[in-house]
């Protein structure tokens, strides 16, 4: 069973205010960028680790063009898989890991190549199932459930999202991306829809990409500057 931190209601109010302002800034609801089945989303998410979106998308396209099925990826010579995913970083590590995961999935599901059953499970149980696979952590499990056509209520936290919430004082800079998932998800209202949870991730990510840059954030045009202790110090 995953640990659920107690809710800090004052902090939750701050999070919701920031959410509302950023939704006005970036335009919610935000359309989903993927409509992949959950197994394809899993592979896509694994390719995206420490890789720019354009490169990971190209690697996924090359992989699926080169191999007609996930079973074919599993059984191919590892070097061929590595060549197919060459645009992503650490292709030499990701190729055998992807094949290992596909082998385990094939064994667990008796040759079935669908993770659609995860949609019938409570989100915490589905995430536990995914995170039992090697190399799958909180970010990847959330991405599979939230970004795939399952459209689950799971909050993904990427690096942009993470540094924005650190600057806003929502979490400590000592909390790494992985552990931040449980803390940040606990601050969201329990009755939010999957679209609202997805919007929350997207607006924080977009804010990191378009305004709250890792270096030289544009604090002068930040719509949540009055709620940002880091920004007020910079100003």
Residues of the chain with CATH 1.10.340.30: 38-147
Q: What is the CATH number of domain 9-31+155-234?
A: 1.10.1670.10
Q: Give every CB contact of residue 184 below 8 A, 6+ residues apart in sequence.
A: 155, 157, 165, 170, 171
Q: Where exactly does CATH 1.10.1670.10 map onto the chain?
A: 9-31+155-234
Condensed to tens digits (0 to 9), the pLDDT of residues 140-166 reads 999 999 999 999 999 999 999 999 999
pLDDT of residue 23: 98
Q: Percent of the chain, pLDDT > 70? A: 97
CATH topology of domain 38-147: Endonuclease III; domain 1 (1.10.340)
Give the pTM: 0.91
């Amino acid at each position: 069973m995953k640990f659920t931190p107690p809710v800090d209601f004052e902090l939750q109010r701050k999070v919701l205010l920031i959410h509302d302002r950023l939704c006005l800034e970036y335009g919610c609801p935000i359309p989903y960028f993927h409509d992949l089945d959950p197994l394809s989303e899993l592979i896509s998410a694994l390719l995206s680790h420490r890789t720019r979106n354009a490169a990971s998308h190209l690697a996924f396209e090359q992989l699926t063009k080169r191999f007609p099925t996930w079973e074919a990826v599993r059984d191919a010579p590892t070097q061929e898989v590595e060549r197919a995913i060459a645009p992503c970083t650490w292709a030499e590590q990701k190729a055998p890991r992807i094949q290992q995961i596909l082998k385990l999935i094939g064994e667990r599901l008796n040759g079935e190549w669908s993770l659609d059953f995860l949609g019938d499970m409570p989100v915490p149980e589905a995430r536990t199932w995914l995170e039992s696979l090697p190399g799958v952590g909180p970010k990847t499990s959330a991405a599979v459930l939230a970004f795939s056509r399952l459209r689950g209520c799971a909050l993904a936290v990427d690096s942009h999202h993470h540094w924005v919430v650190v600057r806003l004082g929502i979490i400590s800079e000592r909390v790494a991306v992985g552990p931040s998932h449980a803390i940040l998800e606990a601050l969201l209202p329990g009755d939010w829809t999957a679209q609202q949870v997805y919007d929350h991730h997207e607006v924080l990510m977009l804010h990191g990409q378009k305004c709250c840059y890792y270096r030289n954030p544009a604090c002068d045009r930040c719509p949540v500057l009055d709620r940002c202790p880091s920004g007020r110090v910079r100003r």
